[in-house]
């Protein structure tokens, strides 16, 4: 019977093999369209004759990586917390490899759904569907009187100005240059974060809220979990964004916006519009129809292109297919919010900090808790301020727990009688 030390060494070696195996499986990078597609399409729109983008996807072969992932799955012990973690991660990377090998085919949609879900998936606690929740936020945003906005909320911020502001915020937080902020003209999304670099799309216009959102969402969640994951010398895969951790990562990052007061209703609308657009594409809408949907919803043509492009990454823009990654934001937000509330109820807020020790799912954080307590895994080196202030976090969550007991529909019925 293997000793605890032998089990640890065995799974640590498997983890190192997994990191090596998945180095070339860059899901978002390899599904993205080339930047050369953007301007011809926008030019055709300006002429009043939008032309369907033509995208030729490269062929990929990850058979060697997939064989290694299969070997890791077979060698890991599913009854050991680290073995189960490894198996789940390896299966997720295998699905991502299959998706990349299938670019431009009908298989991409099915594999995307297997990784990220679909708009009709229900929220935690048997709540409404993700698409129904999206409709709720779109409706509130559309009803909001824009005259209520403060003047500074309506002034756009250039990518260059935001770069300087965000760089200053990050240097102050770390007391040194740990994460650099760069401009990238080819970026599909408005911003993207790695462990030591945050990219902003050059030429994009940002809002008053984007500085705080990028600081709390991109830097102090996505980058911070990568940096802390790099401290896990025995299990370096905790620094990698496995596809299966996407829902928790985006949920935690969006929760960070919410808990710090950095999120605004327009941000919730943008997230929700993407979910509705994915549903439209799955139902048959093509790229031009989805692009027009975003424009009708108030986005400028360049932003509408970027938003529609997210929906059609890796698939045929003719319709009936979609890359469903953006459905995870609302599901992840509700799941993370629920996780923190349950932790408060059970007087277990402290273990919530393990979520920042690397990139993991909510279930991973629970399953790996003994590994943290035994010192096998290291606690996070860096934490965002909102989670270090337990009293403040508990106060917000306690009020949320109580407020959920109040039925607004009954209040409305009472007022109408």
Walk across the sheet containing 191-193 and list its strands. 180-184, 197-201, 191-193
164 has a pLDDT exceeding 70: yes
Q: Note whether 167 and 215 are within 8 A (CB).
A: no
Q: What is the pLDDT of residue 414?
A: 44
> What percent of the chain is predicted at pLDDT more than 70?
91
| pLDDT at 347 (0 to 100) | 72
The confidence score (pLDDT) of residue 416 equals: 44
pLDDT tens digits for 63-116? 999 999 999 999 999 999 999 999 999 999 999 999 999 999 999 999 999 999
For 390, other C-beta atoms within 10 Å of its C-beta total: 13
pLDDT value, residue 417:
44
Whether residue 354 is predicted with pLDDT greater than 90 in this model: the reply is yes
- Give how far Cα 156 sits from Cα of 189, 207, 218, 332, 389, Å: 17, 5, 20, 29, 32
pLDDT tens-digit profile of 213-250? 999 999 999 999 999 999 999 999 999 999 999 999 99
Q: Which residues contact 10 (CB under 8 A, 6 or more apart)?
A: 2, 75, 77
The residues near 169 (Cβ < 8 Å, ≥ 6 apart) are 211, 215, 219
Residue 18 has pLDDT above 60, yes or no: yes
pLDDT per residue as tens digits for the range 285-307:
999 999 999 999 999 999 999 99
CB 235 within 8 A of CB 82: yes
What whole-number distance in Å separates Cα of residue 20 and Cα of residue 323?
26
Dihedrals phi, psi of 176, to nearest 5 degrees: -175, 175
pLDDT at residue number 203: 86
* 105-137 core/surface letters (b: 16 or more CB in 10 A; e: else): bebbbebbbbbbbbbeeebeeeeebbbebbbeb
Q: Output 388 or 165, whichever has higher pLDDT.
A: 165
Over 60: is that where the pLDDT of 147 sits? no
pLDDT at 342: 84
Instruction: Give the separation between CA 60 and CA 79, rounded to whole angstroms.
Output: 34
Residues 400-412: what's their mean pLDDT?
A: 59
Question: Chain centroid to CA 339: how far?
Answer: 17
Between strands 191-193 and 197-201, the pairing is antiparallel
- Whether 151 shows a pLDDT value over 70: the answer reads no
pLDDT of residue 402: 66
pLDDT score of 3 more than 90:
no
Q: Are 181 and 170 in contact (CB under 8 A)?
A: yes
Mean pLDDT of the chain: 90
pLDDT at 344 over 60: yes
**Residue 59, pLDDT score:** 96
Write down the pLDDT at residue 301. 95
pLDDT above 80 for 404: no
By DSSP bridging, strand 197-201 and strand 180-184 are: parallel
Would you put residue 347 in left (φ > 0), alpha (ψ -120 to 50) or beta? left
Instruction: Give which of 354, 399, 361, 400 is closest to 381, Cα–Cα.
Output: 354
Domains of the chain, residue spans: 119-408
Q: How far apart are CA 380 and CA 228, in angstroms?
A: 5
Highest mean pLDDT among 183-197, 223-237, 345-359: 223-237
- The token pair at 234 is 């025995």
Output the six-digit token pair for 225: 């979990």
pLDDT tens, residue by residue, 254-283: 999 999 988 888 889 999 999 999 999 999
Question: Is the confidence at residue 149, as pLDDT, over 70?
Answer: no
- Residue 80 region by backbone torsions, left for phi larger than 0, else alpha for psi between -120 and 50, else beta: beta
Distance of CA 330 to the CA centre of its chain: 10
Which is more confidently placed, 411 or 127? 127
| Contact indicator for 122, 131 with CB cutoff of 8 Å | no
């Amino acid at each position: 019977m293997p000793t605890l030390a032998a089990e640890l060494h065995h799974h640590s070696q498997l983890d190192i093999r997994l990191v090596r195996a998945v180095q070339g499986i860059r899901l978002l990078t390899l599904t993205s369209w080339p930047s050369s597609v953007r301007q011809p399409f926008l030019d055709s729109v300006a002429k009043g004759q939008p032309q369907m983008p033509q995208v030729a996807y490269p062929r990929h072969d990850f058979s060697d990586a997939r064989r290694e992932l299969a070997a890791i799955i077979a060698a890991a012990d599913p009854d050991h917390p680290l073995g189960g973690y490894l198996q789940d991660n390896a299966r997720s990377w295998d699905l991502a490899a299959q998706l990349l090998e299938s670019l431009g085919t009908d298989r991409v949609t099915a594999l995307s759904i297997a990784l990220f879900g679909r708009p009709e998936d229900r929220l935690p606690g048997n709540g409404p569907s993700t698409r129904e929740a999206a409709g709720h936020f779109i409706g509130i945003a559309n009803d909001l009187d824009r005259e209520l906005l403060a003047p500074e909320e309506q002034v756009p911020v250039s990518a260059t100005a935001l770069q300087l502001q965000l760089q200053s915020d990050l240097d102050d937080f770390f007391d040194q240059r740990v994460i650099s902020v760069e401009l990238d003209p080819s970026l599909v999304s408005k911003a993207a974060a790695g462990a030591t670099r945050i990219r902003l799309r050059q030429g994009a216009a940002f809002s008053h809220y984007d500085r705080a959102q990028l600081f709390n969402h991109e830097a102090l969640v996505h980058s911070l979990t990568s940096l802390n994951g790099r401290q896990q010398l025995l299990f370096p895969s905790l620094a990698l964004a496995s596809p299966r951790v996407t829902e928790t990562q985006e949920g935690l990052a969006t929760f960070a916006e919410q808990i710090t007061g950095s999120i605004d209703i327009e941000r919730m609308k943008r997230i929700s519009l993407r979910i509705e657009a994915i549903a439209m594409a799955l139902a048959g809408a093509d790229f031009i129809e989805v692009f027009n949907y975003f424009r009708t919803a108030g986005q400028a043509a360049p932003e509408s292109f970027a938003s529609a492009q997210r929906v059609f990454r890796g698939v045929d823009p003719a319709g009936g297919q979609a890359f469903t990654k953006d459905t995870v934001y609302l599901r992840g937000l509700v799941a993370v919010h629920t996780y923190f509330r349950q932790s408060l109820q059970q007087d277990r807020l402290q273990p919530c900090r393990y979520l920042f020790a690397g990139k993991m799912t909510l279930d991973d954080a629970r399953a790996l808790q003994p590994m943290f307590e035994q010192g096998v895994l290291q606690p996070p080196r860096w934490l965002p301020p909102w989670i270090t202030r337990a009293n403040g976090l508990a106060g917000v969550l306690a009020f949320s727990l109580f407020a959920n007991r109040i039925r607004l529909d009954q209040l409305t019925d009472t007022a109408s009688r």
